[in-house]
Chain A
Amino acid sequence: GQSLEQPSEVTAVEGAIVQINCTYQTSGFYGLSWYQQHDGGAPTFLSYNALDGLEETGRFSSFLSRSDSYGYLLLQELQMKDSASYFCAVEGFKTIFGAGTRLFVKA
């Protein structure tokens, strides 16, 4: 079967760094994506890792280890607007989303 695990909730302060981990079990794996979703909105694509290693896009970075079936999203210089839900998603024959991690950024 296919499954993803990520923490349900994370709290951090403005300016801090936070890491959201994701472990997965799947078949037909092409890569791991990360999406951000604000309350009431649709998911927006953040990053995609097909190969092992770190991908950096501005304040956000994403890491993948295929051998460990593990990835993480790193958010730096946190801002209040980063408060949202973050989903990891396994990209295979279809996309399977994790349950999401709600990030609360405090002043």
Chain B
Amino acid sequence: GAVVSQHPSWVICKSGTSVKIECRSLDFQATTMFWYRQFPKQSLMLMATSNEGSKATYEQGVEKDKFLINHASLTLSTLTVTSAHPEDSSFYICSAVGEASGGPATQYFGPGTRLTVL
């Protein structure tokens, strides 16, 4: 089956620093990747849709200058949380959609990155 990896799996940083999270599709080309954020005991909230070679589409309420997304290749998308603050502490999950087997537009999720901002 399709595999999506995320790196790092967890990160602790000081307030004000920037953190980059990578999302890679390991065995297929992902034309579209999604970035989600999940607070404890809550649902996944879509932050942005990332398409290879074009600007990301952000959901309402998500600051594009704070959450920088780069989809540089068909197998890699990065999310950079700039000037992170404690309220940005969350579980960040990416997913990839591509031409992998699995039927109609199946999303393959990465294992997630737990960000803690002190």
Residues of A within 8 A of B (CB): 30-31, 33, 41-45, 48, 50, 87, 91, 94-100
Contact = CB atoms under 8 A, between A and B. Distances in A.
A87 B43 contact: yes
A91 B106 CA distance: 9
A30 B112 contact: no
B67 interface: no
B106 A43 contact: no
B106 A94 contact: no
9 contacts: A31-B104, A41-B112, A42-B110, A43-B109, A48-B103, A48-B104, A91-B105, A95-B95, A99-B42
A45 B105 contact: no
B107 interface: yes
B43 A42 contact: no
Contacts of A96: 46
Given A94-B46, A97-B44, A42 B109 contact: yes
Interface string B81-107: 000000000000101000000111111
Contact of B93 (A30, A43, A50, A100): A43
A53 to B, nearest CB: 15
